[in-house]
Structure 1
Amino acid sequence: MNELSILFEDGEALVIDKPAGLPLDRPRAGGISLDDRLDELRLGFQRRPAPVHRLDRDTSGCLLLARNPKALKRFAAAFEARKVIKIYLGVVAGPVEGDKGTISLSLSKISSEKNGWRMIPARQGKAAVTHWRVLARKDGLTLVEFRPETGRTHQIRVHAASGLGHALLGDPVYGKAVAGTRTMLHAAQLVIPREGKDTIEAEAPLPADFVALGFTIEP
């Protein structure tokens, strides 16, 4: 079992580089989840840290954990108030028109016994706004930086598919599954302001599967 990489650490917070494929909660079919690994992230503290926000199982990168209930409440409020800067990188499975823009598509959850649940653009749904810009184009794929203002479930995945015209590479729900490829989304940066304390800033390196597609990020 690989050691979890810690990107930021102090007395009330940890930011880890969550590996792709590691779910936050125990899967119904069984298997390891982040919850099984929280004890190793105590790092001398009495309490296990708790995730403040969520990343999909396939999504890699910056995940904030709080070391005590008061910090958890403050951080959750910062996310709710949209004070947190979140920057994601995604490989879009096709050419993207233009170099930058903003997608504003409200989202609603639907479900069926046959297909399970998913999010769809819906006028009566919850407001969802994502700013984006193209970083690179290669072999018909597009590396896009996403800056979501809101934090709706599957927001970037739906906005890529419905707002940019192509889903994220490997997305089995909003695009097309690709053998041996996860949904190519990475939480690259996280910035959380704190009153009376230094701002939390964390950056997760570009994953190997992004690099294998020929994408790099200039320092």
Structure 2
Amino acid sequence: MAEDVALQEQDETDLYEHIRIVADKGQALLRVDKFLMNRVENTSRNRIQNAIETESVRVNDRPVKASYKVKPLDVITMVLPDPPRDTEVYPENISLEIIYEDDDVLLVDKEAGMVVHPGYNNYTGTLVNALTYHLNLLPTLPGNTGRPGLVHRIDKDTSGLLVIAKNEWAMTHLAKQFFEHTIERRYVALVWGDIAEDGTVTGYIGRDLKDRRIMSVYDDPEKGKWSVTHYQVLERLGYVTLIECQLETGRTHQIRAHLKSIGHPLFGDTGYGGDKILKGTVFNKYKQFVDNCFQLLPRQALHAKSLGFQHPKTQENLYFEVPIPEDFRLVLEKWRSYASGKELNT
């Protein structure tokens, strides 16, 4: 696995910051918006106002209005898109599969192989380069950290849905939803082995101690961030199983690491051991069959099929779903034929 992929596909929580301030014992009564302007660096009054209006500012765990007067020992928390960095993004005329667009949000069905944002060894050809070309106002937004409009991401070799914020209000509102885990996300995955029943994987995800390019699941909270993935069996196909995964959290490589930790790595996942024959017979015909599948799908069998969220402006609950791409579909059909006894007899 190339180092750049592991480094740039960071935890979604890295896209925004959680600020926590405890007011001093001698704090004089002061409006919360002015208090935050005085205490938070690299921000603007407009960003703070947006955060307050989207209930991303809380005092003692309750949302407040801008006129609230901060008192001694109040605990003030705020969720904001990450502060801007000096990162130049070059626009590129790259075609995008746009599923939905209005004045505030854009939904894209990302193809496998496209890196989401520029990073080490991937400064061109990314989704962000394409967005910068198609939506040339995005790079000027504060808080985009060189990743205009992004409030979440998926791995380079994962296909599927991403929502893009087209203005600062939408970015703040969507960031809050991701931070509070109210976004509905479902993935389709083909995994090695026969999964007996539906289940949930939990644990603390952090960098693997032996290979920093991948993630591991730990029992120790000091070694990673808490993560939760629910999975449901869709179809059993002999030595592989088609499942649906629903995320509660959005950690780096979460599904990939979770499924490996329970002994069912994603089919074709180079980084997590799924690119080898892990289940099946010793017959050469079977080996050739699996190799053919690997050639048809030279990536992990993971697709972000659906996304549901509350629209930043209208407050309407939106839900979108896209079908699995052709490479995934072809491999799935081959395994269906194999499971029915037809594939190896042709």
TM-score of the pair, normalised by structure 1: 0.86
1:105 correspondence with 2:203: yes
Cross-structure match for 2:118: 26
Q: 1:47 to 1:160 in 2, by over 3 A?
A: same
Superposed counterparts of 1:178-189, under 5 Å = 179-180=294-295, 181-189=298-306
Distance 2:137 2:248 in 1: 34
Identify the match of residue 213 of structure 2 among 100, 117, 134.
117
Superposed counterparts of 1:1-219, under 5 Å = 3-26=95-118, 28-30=120-122, 31-42=124-135, 46-47=137-138, 50-98=149-197, 100-110=198-208, 115-124=211-220, 125-163=224-262, 165-177=263-275, 179-180=294-295, 181-194=298-311, 196-215=314-333
Distance 2:333 2:250 in 1: 26
User: What count of residue pairs does the alignment treat as equivalent?
Assistant: 210
Please state how far the C-alpha of 1:167 moved relative to its aligned partner. Answer: 0.4
Indicate the larger mover: 54-63 or 170-179. 170-179
SS in structure 2 of the partner of residue 209 of structure 1? helix
Distance 1:41 1:17 in 2: 15
Residues 120-142 of structure 1: CA deviation (Å, up to 9, x unaligned): 11112321111111111225221
2:194–2:238: 8 Å Cα contact kept in structure 1?
no
Residues 8-37 of structure 1: CA deviation (Å, up to 9, x unaligned): 211100110000000012353345111221
SS in structure 2 of the partner of residue 8 of structure 1? strand
Could you tell me which amino acid in structure 1 is paired with residue 110 of structure 2? K
TM-score of the pair, normalised by structure 2: 0.56
Distance 2:317 2:162 in 1: 15
Could you tell me which amino acid in structure 2 is paired with residue 32 of structure 1? G
Distance 2:252 2:273 in 1: 16
1:11–1:67: 8 Å Cα contact kept in structure 2?
yes
Rg: which structure is higher?
2
Q: CA RMSD, aligned part only?
A: 2.2
2:159–2:303: 8 Å Cα contact kept in structure 1?
yes
Could you tell me which amino acid in structure 1 is paired with residue 206 of structure 2? S
Could you tell me which amino acid in structure 1 is paired with residue 329 of structure 2? V
Whose RCO is larger (CA < 8 A, sep 6+)?
1
2:185–2:306: 8 Å Cα contact kept in structure 1?
yes
Q: 1:214 to 1:118 in 2, by over 3 A?
A: closer
Segments of 5+ residues of structure 2 without an aligned counterpart are 1-92, 140-147, 277-293, 335-346
Distance 1:123 1:46 in 2: 44
Segments of 5+ residues of structure 1 without an aligned counterpart are none
Percent identical across equivalent pairs? 34
